[in-house]
Structure 1
Amino acid sequence: METSGISASTYRQPQSSADKKLKAVADQLEATFLSEMLKSAGVAETPSLFGGGAGEGQFASFLRDEYARELTAAGGLSLGEALFNSLKERQNDE
């Protein structure tokens, strides 16, 4: 069975420690973007009835951030991949 789309294996695998740091930063940026998108979508919002009160609302951002990190680790939107590849190409051009 054939599948289409981008997979996590299309990353240019980091070879040096600088590349590994660059990949980590690109993935963190993707996770931050996903967290904001999840916030806009209303993920982890405190329900008006039978909610956990003020404490739940204060910690909702931590839950969204963790969801975003897990989504990124699972392949995410491939935004981190695109950023890493673009920045790596830019480094090579210099």
Structure 2
Amino acid sequence: MAMLPGSGPTDIFGALPVSKNLTPAQQKAKGASQEFEQVFLSTVLAQMFSGLEGEGPMGSGEQTESWRKFLTDAYAREITAAGGVGIGDTVYRELLAIQEAAGSQ
């Protein structure tokens, strides 16, 4: 997908333009949707790591479990900061639709 000059960056599917001119309500919705995606990804990654057993670089036991929790949270934060997997954008669109519907009543 070629970008036209001045069109600005978009998400991976080109559906949501990245905008710095969000209203306070839109900023709040964007933050909530990104936080949701981060928590979701952290949960998915934790499930992925849950099947790993045996000695790792830090041994095994409670220390390893704590380390894995920090690692999965960091992975989720970085994936979300890099654009995520699209869940946050979908949640953001839904939150905006709910806000618009509530505003029109």
Please give the alpha-carbon distance, in whole angstroms, between the structure 2 residues aligned to 1:50 and 1:30: 28
Count of aligned pairs between the two proteins: 89
User: Could you say if the C-alpha distance between residues 32 and 50 of structure 1 is closer, same or farther in structure 2, counting changes exceeding 3 Å?
Assistant: closer
2:98 to 87, 90, 94: 90
1:71 to 76, 79, 89: 79
- Greater helix content: 1
Could you tell me which residue of structure 2 aligns to residue 29 of structure 1? 36
Structure having greater relative contact order (Cα 8 Å, sep ≥ 6):
1
Q: TM-score, normalised by structure 1?
A: 0.76
- The gaps in structure 1 that reach 5 residues or longer are none
Q: TM-score, normalised by structure 2?
A: 0.69
1:57 to 65, 69, 80: 65
Kept in 2: contact 1:12–1:85 (CA 8 A): no
Amino acid at match of 2:40: F
- The gaps in structure 2 that reach 5 residues or longer are 3-11
Q: Which has the larger radius of gyration?
A: 2
Amino acid at match of 1:63: L
Could you tell me which residue of structure 1 aligns to residue 9 of structure 2? none
